[in-house]
Amino acid sequence: MPSRISDALKDHPVHLPHNILDLGSVKELPDSYAWNAPPLPCDRTVLDLSVPVIDLGHPGASTLIGHACKEWGVFQMTNHGVPRDLLTEVERAGRDLFSLPLQQKMRVARKPDGVSDYGVTRISSFFPKLMWSEGFTVIGSPLEHARLLWPHDRAAGFCDVIGRYNDEMRRLAGKLMWLMLGALGIRHHSEDDVTWAGPNGDFPGASAALQMNSYPACPDPDQAMGLAAHTDSTLLTILLQNDTAGLQVMKGDGSGWATVPPVDGALVVNVGDLLQMLTNGTYPSIVHRVFVTRNAHRHSIAYLYGPPSGVKIAPLPALTGPGHPALFWPVTWSEYLGMKAKHFDKALTSVRLPPPRVSDMESLTPDVNIETKS
Ligand SMILES: C=C1C[C@]23C[C@@]1(O)CC[C@H]2[C@@]12CCC[C@@](C)(C(=O)O1)[C@H]2[C@@H]3C(=O)O
Ligand SMILES: O=C(O)CCC(=O)C(=O)O
Ligand SMILES: [Fe+2]
């Protein structure tokens, strides 16, 4: 079994399409990008519902977060302590990177077994059409790739911003974990529950990836998909979006999509599959996707946060007991990424207890028409 996230991804190579295009200069939607069979991007059953916006400085923040995680699996947060200048700088770093000419970005194109680099989203292989987006994944230091993209001083500047942003995200993700778990009565000192938690309320050794996304303006947005519906495999994801709307989340009851509007200075937090497992299903991971528009170029940066390599995630003992059996068997993030790479939206079902019968799942093959949460 792979032990680190980078090893898990190497075992499941994703190939870049041969005909990768410079999306910013395309005037007509090519057929390979036209989603004309389900899942359709234009099924915009958009609900008039708002994802909660929570002020982290509010005395009741933990309770509000717990409620949002149960009801939605996503919320926006303000007053999160990440300096505004740093948000601006990291947003600019992403914009600078994606505005490079395609041939230059291709210098750091993902190798079939690569992890940290430029390419299409990893879930592309589950869909018959290409998505109207490009991504740059950072796991560890981006220095080697930054040096291939820029002259010395600019490469160092890019890495400095990414380094500072990663530090802030790690701090914030640890804080969020306790706010989320605190709402369920799990406290810092309960080492028996969260075995990998550090003594200072932090999570030493936590793993993470930074995913920079670019969604250029699109000549036919109704037929294009920025990012197809998926859940993140993480404990939690912290997302910075620019001022262009695009992110949509599926309301837990499957009744429709809600758009998460950009709120100046706010960060979006979404529950990932591993947190659903850790909380024994109390906090469901959220299905989300991204639509594109005709006139605006959207950028986002996702901080994907998970446990240290080797740590098995299982339902917390405090959340199981008589009448509340554990619903998932223990897995490391790497093991789970392997399952996700194989089963996509059926990965969570594949780790359910009791083990699913094949007939329950109509086999473990992915359902590429994922429209609602199963
Ligand atoms: C650690 C990771 C989670 C992720 C795969 C990755 O290696 C880095 C990219 C992440 C991402 C971002 C877009 C959606 C997603 C499902 C994908 O294909 O790549 C997630 C992966 C995930 O959370 O499973
Ligand atoms: O761009 C967005 O808003 C969402 C990105 C996302 O879902 C991801 O990177 O996992
Ligand atoms: Fe995502």
The whole-number pLDDT of residue 364 equals 61
Take atom 5 of ligand 1 and give the residue whose Cα is closest: 122
Report the SS3 class of residue 168: helix
Q: What is the mean pLDDT of each run of 10 residues along the chain (374 residues)?
A: 72 70 94 87 77 97 98 97 98 97 93 82 90 95 92 92 98 96 85 78 91 98 96 98 96 88 98 98 97 97 96 95 94 94 93 75 55 34
Q: Please give the pLDDT value at position 148.
A: 93
pTM of the model: 0.94
* d(CA 283, ligand 2 centre) in Å: 19
Confirm or reject: Cβ of 309 under 6 Å from ligand 1.
Answer: no
Residue 13, class by beta-carbon neighbours within 10 Å (0-12 exposed, 13-18 middle, 19+ buried)? Answer: middle
Query: Does the C-beta of 288 come closer than 6 Å to ligand 1?
Result: no
* Minimum CA distance residue for ligand 2 atom 6: 302
Strand partners, 211: 137, 302
CA of 166 to the centre of ligand 3 (A): 17
Q: Evaluate whether ipTM surpasses 0.90.
A: yes
Q: Is 298 a known active-site residue?
A: yes
CB 118 within 8 A of CB 109: yes
Q: Terminal CA-to-CA distance of the chain, rounded, Å?
A: 27
